[in-house]
């Protein structure tokens, strides 16, 4: 949940998730729609799908209890090195390293790493260094402290070196210039056009098979745009800035197999830009 999202934003989603899914069995037996609906608004929906797939494996192969070793956790869908190690250290106090944004910045400065930390070489340096540092005992506390030190003291713009408890080990000559990162790809602009179709108090939606696979969106269309738009917004998506435009459309004679009429959109999984548009347009009717 915390990928590219701040803790304060995540907390209500996290609490809602735990209310709805208090254990692996409840996630495993839920429909994909229920899981995506509870996750909606957080983005990165593959994480929710992976969590559901992982919960099924935990239920079916591990008796509903998460295995405590890194190798077994890493075999679960969606669990890469960071997630597997973070779960192993925080849930099971395993002496494994973790590197995330805050500890990466801290380690890059401590070691004075002069290669981009988001390059393969930079990443491996950080992980190797973190592995050397992690103690056999109290690894969870150590890893937590490393993250907190990065988040609270070794700040991105103005590191508080004068109060830093590891200052005497720090090799950074110019901490403000570290860490080095690869230059980001330029943001591309895209326009996406969708239709608002309502008939007999029902709204037409289609199930996405692309970016928001499995979620319900306003039907797409690309041609014959002559009407005034009903709704406009913009949203970011990876390296894109998307202009999202919704046009009125009459009821079609026939709908495709991916489309369906909905009387209510309350309980279906919809990505935020589409939910906001649909709610605004339905309430204006």
In the complex, least distance from residue 4 CB atom to ligand SF4, rounded to whole angstroms = 23
In the complex, least distance from residue 89 CB atom to ligand SF4, rounded to whole angstroms = 21
Chain residues 150-209 in contact with ligand SF4, contact rule CB under 6 A: 153-154, 159-161, 164, 166-167, 170, 172, 175
Chain residues 126-155 in contact with ligand SF4, contact rule CB under 6 A: 153-154
In the complex, least distance from residue 6 CB atom to ligand SF4, rounded to whole angstroms = 21
Q: What are phi and psi of 50, to 5 degrees?
A: -65, -40
Among 109, 194, 274, 275, which residue interacts with ligand SF4 (rule: CB under 6 A)? Answer: 109
How many chain residues bind ligand SF4 (CB under 6 A)?
14
Label the pairing between strands 240-248 and 188-196.
parallel
**Tokens standing for residue 274:** 């589409």
**Could you give the count of Cα atoms lying within 13 Å of 209 in the half-sphere of its Cβ?**
3
Nearer Cβ to ligand SF4 (30/170): 170
Distances from the Cα of 39 to the Cαs of 10, 12, 45, 138, 276, in angstroms? 10, 11, 7, 33, 15
Among 28, 106, 204, 268, which residue interacts with ligand SF4 (rule: CB under 6 A)? Answer: 106
- Cα–Cα dist 196/203, whole Å: 7
In the complex, least distance from residue 171 CB atom to ligand SF4, rounded to whole angstroms = 8
Q: What are phi and psi of 143, to 5 degrees?
A: -65, -35
Label the pairing between strands 202-207 and 198-199.
antiparallel
Nearer Cβ to ligand SF4 (165/185): 165
- List interacting residues with ligand SF4 (CB under 6 A): 106, 109-110, 153-154, 159-161, 164, 166-167, 170, 172, 175
């Amino acid at each position: 949940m915390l990928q590219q999202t701040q803790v304060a934003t995540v907390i209500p989603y996290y609490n809602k998730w735990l209310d709805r899914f208090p254990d692996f069995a409840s996630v495993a037996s839920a429909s994909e729609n229920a899981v995506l609906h509870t996750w909606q608004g957080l983005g990165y929906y593959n994480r929710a799908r992976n969590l559901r797939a992982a919960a099924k494996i935990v239920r079916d192969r591990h008796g509903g209890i998460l295995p405590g070793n890194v190798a077994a956790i890493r075999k679960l869908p969606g669990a890469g090195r960071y997630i597997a190690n973070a779960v192993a250290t925080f849930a099971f106090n395993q002496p494994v390293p973790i590197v995330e944004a805050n500890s990466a910045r801290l380690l890059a400065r401590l070691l004075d790493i002069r290669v981009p930390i988001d390059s393969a070489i930079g990443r491996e340096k950080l992980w190797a260094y973190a592995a050397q540092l992690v103690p056999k005992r109290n690894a969870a506390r150590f890893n937590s402290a490393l993250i907190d030190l990065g988040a609270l003291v070794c700040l991105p713009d103005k590191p508080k070196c004068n109060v830093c408890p590891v200052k005497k080990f720090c090799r950074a000559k110019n901490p403000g210039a570290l860490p080095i990162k690869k230059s980001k790809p330029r943001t591309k602009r895209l326009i996406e056009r969708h239709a608002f179709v309502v008939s007999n108090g029902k709204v037409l939606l289609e199930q996405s098979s692309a970016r928001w696979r499995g979620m319900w969106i306003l039907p797409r269309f690309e041609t014959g745009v002559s009407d005034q738009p009903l709704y406009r917004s913009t949203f970011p998506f990876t390296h894109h800035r998307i202009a999202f435009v919704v046009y009125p459309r009459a009821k079609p004679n026939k709908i495709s197999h991916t489309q369906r009429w909905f009387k209510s959109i309350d309980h279906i999984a919809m990505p935020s830009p589409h939910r906001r548009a649909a709610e605004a347009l339905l309430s204006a009717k």
